[in-house]
A and B are shown apart, each in its own frame.
Chain A
């Protein structure tokens, strides 16, 4: 991701990342509940609250990489 990346670029990146996850795992997102990989991908595509949370997670991760925290 470059400094010129658009929100759509980040969304596409998150979708690619999620696609590589194992289908045998589920994700628990607090009070939103538990989701399969396929359900999460649909939420990202729908741009809803849960999808936006996944994009927020990716943005924080990219910032941590940029700062050299990890």
Chain B
């Protein structure tokens, strides 16, 4: 059975949005018979994360949270995984980190230590949102421009597509959104530069032919 573990801290606007957009992927996982381990809010701590990783060895790991070049945090920024400390916990996994900069160093060292693939952002992940939608982030059309590709990437992998195909789908969605807003005459067209930034820094380390084999 394929196992999917996601960390979903929620302690500020950024993590709240990432958490809700990621939660939507659980329905896709369940409809494909994939078991989900949801480390939500306080459960997104290092002890719980390492415990679940070691006990159940999930095939697919999605890390939502703040990060840096060599680490990714959980709830209230407790470090869950960091380079040179515990990245071997990702051995044999497909990993996606929606977290700033971590694909830079942690992505590389995770793959060196045996992760099948580590996809993420090698610089800051930037998105815009409308605070009036804080209580219903999935209806935020501005945030959707920036987070839709991420959800699509996860869902494509959950459907059994290869890393390469899933990444291409996500990149195409970002390009589609860039073209869409550049063709409008509203002030939203100014957001294009930030979508280009996210596209430029969305990178993968490791095997691109791998998949979850659903």
Contacts and interface: CB of A to CB of B under 8 A. Distances in A.
A binds B: yes
Contact of A30 (B100, B129, B175, B179): B100
Interface residues of B, number: 34
A27 B127 contact: yes
The 8 closest A-B pairs by CB, nearest first: A30-B100, A61-B193, A30-B124, A28-B14, A31-B66, A34-B13, A57-B197, A20-B187
Interface residues of A, number: 24
B197 A24 contact: no
Contacts of A32: 124
B121 to A, nearest CB: 8
A22 to B, nearest CB: 6
A66 to B, nearest CB: 12
Contacts of A70: 175, 178-179, 182, 192, 196
Given A20-B187, A70-B178, A28 B13 contact: yes
The SS class assigned to the B binding surface is helix
B126 A24 contact: no
Given A25-B129, A60-B200, A70-B179, A34 B194 contact: no
B68 interface: yes
B124 A60 contact: no
Nearest to A59: B193
Nearest to A58: B193
Interface string B50-69: 00000000000000001110
B205 interface: no
Nearest to A62: B193
Interface string B174-204: 0100110010000110111110110010000
The SS class assigned to the A binding surface is mixed
Contacts of B132: 24
Nearest to A20: B187
B197 A30 contact: no
A64 B196 contact: yes
Contact of A17 (B178, B193, B197): B193
Contacts of B13: 26, 28, 34
Interface in A1-60: 17-18, 20-22, 24-34, 53, 57-58, 60
Interface in B97-142: 99-101, 124-132, 142
A26 B126 contact: no
